[in-house]
Amino acid sequence: MAKRDLKFLMKDIEGATVAGARTACVQIMNDLVEAGPAYSGEFSASWYAVAPGKGPGNPRSSTGLYKYTLRNVPKTKFKATGLYTILNTSTHANKAMDLRSYAKPTKDLDERKVLSKTIKTGRRSPGDTRGQVVGDGGATSSAPADWWSTFGLGGPLTKSLEKGFRKGLLTFGKAKGFG
């Protein structure tokens, strides 16, 4: 009897872990959309939660800030090596994440009119990153400089993970091994 209960307990724990991880991915990707830049909506729609050994899905179409749900996170089986990697497949992700120098987008859009985010205006010098906008000028930035490293190292990632995982655990349901 105890062996049977232990078998179900392990399956319950694994199932709850996957449910928590999936919901945490949704929370993290939505928080990345809020924290990151938004110009056309392409970057915000390019976050993917990828299971080990799998690739990201097809490109998504978005003209605004993308809202992630559980349908954006593939179901997977529990693996001790990790469940998901979150990545951005946008061709300009390195620039949007302030990892490379800024280059003016090819689309002629005014992000202030397209998306409902707070926009900083000013001047961007050659070689600056996307977020480096100061003084007066026509350059715009919809996320602070170094938002990506601040999100990952400054605490927001941990908060998103905790909030999403807890929410996922609450949706898992009743354990099967114990009446």
pLDDT band at 28 (very low <50, low <70, confident <90, very high): very high
Q: What is the pLDDT of residues 137-155, one digit of tens each?
A: 877 777 888 889 899 988 8
Cα separations in angstroms, 46 against 7, 88, 122? 39, 5, 27
Instruction: Tell me the percentage of the chain whose pLDDT exceeds 70.
Output: 83
Dist. CA 143–CA 114, nearest whole Å: 15
Q: In 80-152, where do the E strands start and end?
A: 85-88, 120-123, 134-141
How many Cβ atoms are within 10 Å of 94's Cβ, its own excluded?
Answer: 15
User: Which of the two residues, 179 and 86, has the higher pLDDT score?
Assistant: 86
Which helix or strand (DSSP H or E) is residue 47 part of? strand 47-50
Say if CB 23 and CB 164 are below 8 A apart. Answer: yes
Q: What is the pLDDT of residues 88-135, one digit of tens each?
A: 999 888 888 888 876 665 555 455 444 556 677 777 787 777 778 788
CA dihedral for 113, 46, 79, 2, sign (positive or negative): positive
What pTM value is reported for the model? 0.81
User: Which of the two residues, 52 and 138, has the higher pLDDT score?
Assistant: 52
Q: What's the pLDDT at 151?
A: 93
> Minimum mean pLDDT among 12-21, 22-31, 52-61, 100-109: which range?
100-109
The backbone region for 121, taken as left when phi is positive above 0, alpha when psi lies in -120 to 50, beta otherwise, is beta
